[in-house]
Amino acid sequence: MSKSLLPSRENYKVFYPITTRWSDNDIYGHVNNVAYYSYFDTVANQYLIDEGGMDISDGRVVGYVVNSGCDYHSPITYPERIEAGLRVDKLGNSSVQYGIGIFREGEDNPAAHGHFVHVFVERAVNRSVPIPASLRAALEKIS
């Protein structure tokens, strides 16, 4: 992908710092692709907890990941400080698609970027439900 087509920092609404971990590196000496999905999960859920009051332990409604994808542009390694940028690309009745960028600390172009889709589900019956008002309000702030 051409660098001119990459999203930049200005395309994201909120950022969270992440420190790479020793176990993130693979045998090739860079962060393995599966770790990026952990970063996606971390930033999306941290935002829901911080801004939407999501109760991941005992809440009636939880977010299940139903789809994700990532494009990789440059390797990151342990130990590096990175930042995950978050925005909402699509907000539905019971689902949200986030846009997420993984940036080296202070860099404008992402090392990787992708999407992550949550469907909100009533925990007790395992069925999708409308996004609760507090979560929807938080998600609308970064749409």
Q: How far, CA to CA in Å, does 14 sit from each of 39, 99, 122, 124?
A: 14, 11, 27, 31
Domain boundaries, the chain: 9-141
| Digitized pLDDT (tens) for each residue of the chain, 143 residues in all | 445 578 999 999 999 999 999 999 999 999 999 999 999 999 999 999 999 999 999 999 999 999 999 999 999 999 999 999 999 999 999 999 999 999 999 899 999 999 999 999 999 999 999 999 999 999 999 99
Q: How far, CA to CA in Å, does 137 sit from each of 54, 68, 131?
A: 12, 23, 10
pLDDT score recorded for residue 3: 52
Considering the segment(s) 9-141 as one domain, its CATH architecture is Roll (3.10)
Contact 139, 97 (CB under 8 A): no
